[in-house]
């Protein structure tokens, strides 16, 4: 459980990465953004890497929680995918800065511990969607002429592309509206 100050540091870190990129995410810039000294930050986190790992751990925890929810939820496969995507779109709409961290895994590739954490998150999300697809196929809710792995990749990739484009275009379109259209299209593609 994070302390109030640690939560503040994490929130400001996400905003700083969104505003200045990973290159601008320094302890010096972070201390200025929060209005505390650099040593005060180090009392809460050992390093910049520790801050980034904490951010990624929060995402991993969310991914695991969502996976557990989807496993026990009685909705159909298509309803589960719709639910997941709608919640992700809502989360990004409410906190656009998250896109800069969640969909910018390339910024972590040079640090093995961070890269491995991103791989864990991606694998968890992929396994969750693949499992939903497979169960949907077994229950005759989802088309079976395409493998669950390919269906998962197509659906996850389309969401990622839409959200990344929204971020790169400075949030200049309504993500919830576009998300609703995308979800309807995914439903049509998945249905038998």
Q: State the pTM of this model.
A: 0.83
| Chain segment 95-108, per-residue pLDDT in tens | 887 787 777 666 66
The DSSP call for residue 123 is: H
Q: Render the burial of 148-182: b for 16+ CB within 10 Å, e for the rest.
A: beebbeebbebbeebbeebbeeeeeeebeeebeeb
Q: pLDDT at position 107, please?
A: 67
Q: pLDDT at position 141, please?
A: 94
Beta carbons of 25 and 16 less than 8 angstroms apart: yes
| Chain segment 112-165, per-residue pLDDT in tens | 888 888 888 889 989 999 999 999 999 999 999 999 999 999 999 999 999 989
| Chain segment 32-55, per-residue pLDDT in tens | 999 999 999 999 999 988 998 898
All structural domains of the chain: 1-45 (1.10.10.60), 55-190 (1.10.357.10)
| Chain segment 74-85, per-residue pLDDT in tens | 999 999 999 989
pLDDT at 70 over 90: no
Task: Please state, in angstroms and rounded to a whole number, the distance separating the CA atoms of residues 145 and 143.
Answer: 6
How high is the mean pLDDT of the chain?
88
Task: Please state, in angstroms and rounded to a whole number, the distance separating the CA atoms of residues 189 and 148.
Answer: 13
- Hey, CA dihedral for 67, 68, 70, 71, is it positive or negative? positive
């Amino acid at each position: 459980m994070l302390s109030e100050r640690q939560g503040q540091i994490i929130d400001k870190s996400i905003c700083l990465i969104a505003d200045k990129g990973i290159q601008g995410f320094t302890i010096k810039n972070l201390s200025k953004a929060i209005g505390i000294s650099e040593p005060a930050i180090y009392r809460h986190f050992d390093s910049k890497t520790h801050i980034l790992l904490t951010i990624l751990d929060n995402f991993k925890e969310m991914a695991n929680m969502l996976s557990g929810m989807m496993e026990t939820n009685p909705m159909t496969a298509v309803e589960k995918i719709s639910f997941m995507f709608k919640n992700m779109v809502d989360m990004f709409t409410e906190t656009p800065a998250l896109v800069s961290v969640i969909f910018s895994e390339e910024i972590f590739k040079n640090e093995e511990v961070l890269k491995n954490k991103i791989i864990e998150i991606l694998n968890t999300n992929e396994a969750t969607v693949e499992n939903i697809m497979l169960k949907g196929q077994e229950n005759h809710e989802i088309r079976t002429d395409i493998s669950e792995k390919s269906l998962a990749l197509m659906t996850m990739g389309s969401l990622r592309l839409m959200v990344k484009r929204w971020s790169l275009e400075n949030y200049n379109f309504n993500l919830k509206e576009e998300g609703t259209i995308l979800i309807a299209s995914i439903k049509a593609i998945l249905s038998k």
